[in-house]
Amino acid sequence: MNILVIGSGGREHAICLKLLQSSKVKKLYCVPGNAGIAEIAETADIAVMDFEKLIKFAKKKEIDLTVVGMDDPLCAGIVDEFEKEGLRIFGPRKEAARLEGSKAYAKELMKKYNIPTAEYEIFNDAAKAKEYIKAAKYPLVVKADGLALGKGVIICSSYGEAYEAIEKIMLAKEFGKSGDTIVIEEFITGREVSVLSFCDGKTVSPMSSSQDHKRAKDNDEGLNTGGMGAFSPSPFYTEEIEEYCVENIYKRTVEALNREAVEFKGIIFFGLMLTEEGPKVLEYNVRFGDPETQAVLLRLKNDLVEVFEACIEGKLNKIKLEFEANAAVCVILASEGYPQKYEKGMVIKGLDKFNSADNEFYCFHAGTKKAGAEIVTNGGRVLGITAKGADLKEAVKKAYEACEWVDFKGKYKRSDIGKSALEARGR
């Protein structure tokens, strides 16, 4: 088969690598890709939102299956457009992608079908929202309804902060139309867990769990980022918790969609908070997580092409997902200054230390590009150094060891990926 992956991050690099393990893949393409992906797949410089060009490309290259890594094209309806042209594509249609594209829609669905989540109110009118926060309990969380590059969630510890958040999202329109509506949510606490799952419209098959580290600095300080590192599995996500989630969250979500006559085929990413009252849904995403995918897919034993095809054909119940009984850790090497201003174009050295035949150490590229004979930095998150180990402790040690193999000016990383999990377990 000829397969096309759409995206340019570490997540897409990990998806490409996993796809290449399948004997079904004849030729792999990734658009637009990055310097690391270009070493294992044919890349082309087409914008991910230019559906017309992507469709032309898919036809010209006789693509049998397209896989979409990113949220923007999914929420804008890339799957509907490809299907109209008779092209096979893995991912939810526009209507189903609202699970991520509209937080208000997701919250209303959860409420209607009794899926555990934080209490909330929805507002389309800034004046009413400002009135509501006068008597609200703090901290609370103000969220832009639509996509906002992961920046549309503001945790407010006082009335003043909430007032400012409403102004920023609804009036200054910092996230554009995504802020026409907001959700104001109860602040909940606990361990966060990411569970990515495959869904074929009827069956939902959760993958092994993982945990992201969203803040820029150690000890969860600093600004929110796309994610500074991840590990899989999460030691906090016990079998008992998983059983609860399967019945009360995963299956119920798919049933809810079905009852609303929405067919969901693709990835449902459950962002969970393990609270004292039990697991609650923080958010849904409709795609693989980044950097969770880098850690999770390395441990998946199944042929990924077969799983994608089973989802499209509604035969996921025929597949049993299997994961290696080890751990994987991904540490992001970022450009100093990220998620704010940072420099690009720094030469990256030491990449040759990663051997593509290696089964323990991986260097997933995110913001990188080729410049002559060199590979240079081209984004905030540059590389995802990932290692497998017998357990979390060993995987952490190996990932950090490999972080020293590469260097570029302004290289920045968190030094505590997986640390709090190791400490909590040691107690």
Q: Rule CB under 6 A: which residues touch ligand AMP? A: 118, 141, 153, 185-188, 192, 214, 271, 282-283
Residue 95 vs 292, nearer CB to ligand GLY: 292
Residue 81 vs 290, nearer CB to ligand GLY: 290
Residue 143 vs 369, nearer CB to ligand AMP: 143
Q: CB under 5 to 8 A by kind: which of ligand AMP, ligand GLY, none does 185 bind?
A: ligand AMP
Q: CB under 5 to 8 A by kind: which of ligand GLY, ligand AMP, none does 126 bind?
A: none
Residue 151 vs 344, nearer CB to ligand GLY: 151
Encoded tokens for 270: 């459950």
End-to-end C-alpha distance for the chain, whole angstroms: 50
Shortest distance (Å) from residue 151 CB to ligand AMP? 9
Shortest distance (Å) from residue 212 CB to ligand GLY? 4
Residue 55 vs 195, nearer CB to ligand GLY: 195
Q: CB under 5 to 8 A by kind: which of ligand AMP, ligand GLY, none does 290 bind?
A: ligand GLY
Residue 296 vs 402, nearer CB to ligand AMP: 296
Q: CB under 5 to 8 A by kind: which of ligand GLY, ligand AMP, none does 292 bind?
A: ligand GLY
Q: How buried is 150 (Cβ within 10 angstroms: 0-12 exposed, 13-18 middle, 19+ buried)?
A: middle
Please give the Cα distance from 124 to 179 (Å, whole number).
9
Q: CB under 5 to 8 A by kind: which of ligand GLY, ligand AMP, none does 283 bind?
A: ligand AMP
From residue 401, alpha-carbon distances to 318, 394, 404, 406 in Å are 40, 11, 6, 10
Q: CB under 5 to 8 A by kind: which of ligand GLY, ligand AMP, none does 327 bind?
A: none
Shortest distance (Å) from residue 283 CB to ligand AMP? 4
Q: Between β-strands 89-90 and 211-212, what pairing exists: parallel, antiparallel or unpaired?
A: unpaired
Nearest to 228 by CA among 240, 220, 238: 220
Shortest distance (Å) from residue 98 CB to ligand AMP? 15
Could you tell me which residues come within 8 angstroms of residue 422 by beta carbon, excluding any fewer than 6 positions away?
392, 393, 396
Please give the Cα distance from 253 to 65 (Å, whole number).
26
Nearest to 296 by CA among 94, 44, 11, 106: 11
73, 316 contact by CB (below 8 A): no
Half-sphere exposure of 283 (CA within 13 A, CB side): 22
234, 210 contact by CB (below 8 A): yes
- Over its C-alpha atoms, the chain yields an Rg (Å, rounded) of 21
Shortest distance (Å) from residue 157 CB to ligand AMP? 12
Nearest to 408 by CA among 338, 305, 361, 355: 338
Q: CB under 5 to 8 A by kind: which of ligand AMP, ligand GLY, none does 289 bind?
A: ligand GLY
Name the residue with the smallest CB distance to ligand AMP: 283
Shortest distance (Å) from residue 165 CB to ligand GLY? 20
Reported as type and span, the H/E element at residue 31 is strand 27-32
Shortest distance (Å) from residue 269 CB to ligand AMP? 10
Shortest distance (Å) from residue 289 CB to ligand GLY? 4
Residue 13 vs 162, nearer CB to ligand GLY: 13
Residue 152 vs 376, nearer CB to ligand GLY: 152
Q: What one-letter code names the amino acid at 337? A: G
Shortest distance (Å) from residue 293 CB to ligand GLY? 8
Residue 58 vs 147, nearer CB to ligand AMP: 147
Please give the Cα distance from 49 to 189 (Å, whole number).
36
How many residues would you count in the chain? Answer: 427
Nearest to 88 by CA among 32, 201, 4: 4
Q: Between β-strands 153-156 and 361-365, what pairing exists: parallel, antiparallel or unpaired?
A: unpaired
Residues engaged in binding ligand GLY (CB under 6 A): 212, 227, 285, 289-290, 292
